[in-house]
Amino acid sequence: FIILKSLDTLKYGVRTGHPRFFNQLSSGLDVVGLAGEWLTSTANSNMFTYEVSPVFVLMEEVLLKKMQNIVGWLEDEGDGIFCPGGTISNLYSILLARYHFYPEVKTRGMGALPQLALFTSEHSHYSLKKSAAVLGLGTDNMVMVKCDERGKMISAELEAAIVSTKKKGLVPIYVNATAGTTVYGAFDPLNDIADICHRHSLWMHVDAAWGGGLLISDRHRMKLQGIERAWSVTWNPHKMMGVPLQCSAILVKKRGLLKECNELGAEYLFQKDKHYDVSYDTGDKSIQCGRHVDAFKFWLMWKAKGSEGFEAQINKCLENAEYLYDQLQRRTDFKLVFDSKPEHCTVCFWYTPPSLRCLPAGPEKEAKLHQLAPWIKARMMEKGSAMVGYQPLGGKVNFFRCVLSNPATQQEDIDFLLDQIVQLGQYL
């Protein structure tokens, strides 16, 4: 009975590991990672103390040090923790920035602080605004900085926004730069942003949830030049590195700050007279108590395939994105949202059916084009043939946003997607 019900669940669910699932930033199915998840569930351990998770705690420390080294930080600096997703990792960055500048907030609350201002690009992930709301800073105080046509933050606009905010009486403390935006896959100019943060003494965070995996690739890591100058970094191995959900890390340059910010020293967990080095009790670095073991599956995958294996699959995904870009350029029935080559694994485009090609540009054509992508996606889902995302952005009507983060995807899968879009949309 249990086996039959489990099979039914999979039958009617979405096969996110399928090579024609282009819908989300995390996709694919790594069997080594799956084996790691099984073992983790079998152990049923909690990550708050070394005494109950000795092996997993040490594995997490090894992985975090490796990731900090890849970011470019020195051996004696850096800290971190695995979190339940990139949103929580980004929330930690703001929490730590606020505590760094105003440690009294921990005991006295927001009423003891001036009105703070934070900055991020208009193409950044919505978790930044959400974190500002959760932490009581207010979404109005998260200043959205203008981007260029490619989706990159304009550094001159950031500087102007900081100066303007100071004149209004607010106190800037934090800038988020994005390495791999959710929609366009754009990389903000990290070195320029780091220079501005240095001049104004601001905390610089890099949200590399989507783009962090490119640090493993010698071919693509230059897109994140300057990330080593950040004070904190979000990196989601469950995206480009294909680790099963969830696996996200917040990396912090200042060692000890995580614990100072979050420590409350519950005596039933964090006794000081234990028979081992209690610095391995990592629970007080976290805002959680119970914490899932997210490190083991990642550690096992890294052991199995090595950095070279991760690099090969990351390069393959970028090659797939370039292939799709090239195919779209060759066809007159498709149009790219922006003409430049994709920096990452997201490719954005419109399909124009024959019935709309003769219509002059204007509101009527835009309105009909806006309805097209949702309709085609719905038919694909009903057939079970493929899944691809769509969305509007700013003044742009709905376009397809194809994510190519599964290394199992082949060129014929990409060709199939385009053929499906044409087949379903040509008579509309």
Q: Which residues pair with 248 in a beta bridge?
A: 83
Q: CA 406: distance to chain centroid?
A: 15
Do 175 and 281 fall into the same domain?
yes
Q: Which two tokens stand for residue 259?
A: 């614990």
Residue 70 lies in a domain: yes
Q: How many angstroms separate the CA atoms of 234 and 289, rounded?
A: 21
Query: Using an 8 Å Cβ cutoff, are 205 and 231 in contact?
Result: yes
Residue 243 lies in a domain: yes
Q: State which of 294, 321, 338 marks the end of a domain.
A: 294
* CATH number, position 245: 3.40.640.10
Eight-state DSSP code of residue 86: H
For the chain, the domain total comes to 2
Do 316 and 342 fall into the same domain?
yes
Do 129 and 99 fall into the same domain?
yes
| Cα distances (Å, whole numbers) of residue 30 to 16, 23, 37, 244, 304 | 11, 18, 11, 7, 11
Q: How many angstroms separate the CA atoms of 139 and 162, rounded?
A: 16
Do 223 and 348 fall into the same domain?
no
Q: Which two tokens stand for residue 65?
A: 């040090």
Q: How many angstroms separate the CA atoms of 38 and 84, rounded?
A: 18
Q: Which two tokens stand for residue 48?
A: 């708050």
Q: Residue 347 is part of which domain span?
A: 1-25+304-426
Helix 411-425 and helix 295-330: axis angle, to 10°?
60
Residue 299 lies in a domain: no
Q: How many angstroms separate the CA atoms of 147 and 123, rounded?
A: 7
Do 238 and 191 fall into the same domain?
yes
pLDDT, averaged per 10 consecutive residues of the chain (428 residues), comes to 77 91 93 96 95 96 97 93 97 98 97 97 97 97 97 98 98 98 97 98 98 97 98 97 96 96 94 93 94 96 97 97 97 93 96 89 92 96 95 95 96 97 89
> Residue 147 corresponds to which amino acid?
C
Do 335 and 203 fall into the same domain?
no
Q: For residue 196, what is the enclosing H or E element?
A: helix 190-200
Residue 36 lies in a domain: no
Which residue, among 210, 260, 263, 199, has the nearest Cα to 237 in the 3D structure?
A: 210
Q: Is 351 helix (H, G, I), strand (E, B) or coil?
A: strand
246 Cβ contact list (under 8 Å, min separation 6): 84, 85, 238, 292, 294
| Cα distances (Å, whole numbers) of residue 384 to 56, 240, 301, 390, 423 | 39, 24, 30, 17, 15
Q: State which of 272, 294, 316 marks the end of a domain.
A: 294
Q: What is the pLDDT of residue 30?
A: 94
Do 134 and 176 fall into the same domain?
yes
Eight-state DSSP code of residue 426: T
Q: For residue 392, what is the enclosing H or E element?
A: strand 387-393
Q: For residue 143, what is the enclosing H or E element?
A: strand 142-145
Do 106 and 226 fall into the same domain?
yes
Query: Using an 8 Å Cβ cutoff, are 85 and 294 in contact?
Result: no
Residue 30 lies in a domain: no
Do 287 and 308 fall into the same domain?
no
* CATH number, position 5: 3.90.1150.170
Q: What is the pLDDT of residue 428?
A: 80
Q: Which two tokens stand for residue 13?
A: 């669910």
Q: State which of 233, 265, 294 marks the end of a domain.
A: 294
- What pairing do the DSSP bridges indicate for beta strands 346-351 and 116-121? unpaired
Residue 33 lies in a domain: no
- Strands annotated E in 201-356: 203-208, 232-235, 248-252, 334-336, 346-351
Angle, alpha carbons 297-299-300 (nearest 5°): 65
Do 290 and 253 fall into the same domain?
yes
Q: Which two tokens stand for residue 219?
A: 């071919």
Which residue, among 174, 211, 320, 296, has the nearest Cα to 247 in the 3D structure?
A: 296
Q: How many angstroms separate the CA atoms of 168 and 279, rounded?
A: 43
Q: How many angstroms separate the CA atoms of 132 and 164, rounded?
A: 20
What are the φ/ψ torsions at residue 182 (nearest 5 degrees)?
Answer: -65, -40
Query: Tokens 């051996």 correspond to what residue?
Result: 75
Residue 7 lies in a domain: yes
Q: How many angstroms separate the CA atoms of 410 and 288, rounded?
A: 40
Q: What is the pLDDT of residue 60?
A: 97
Do 269 and 332 fall into the same domain?
no
Residue 412 lies in a domain: yes
Do 257 and 151 fall into the same domain?
yes
Q: What is the pLDDT of residue 11?
A: 83
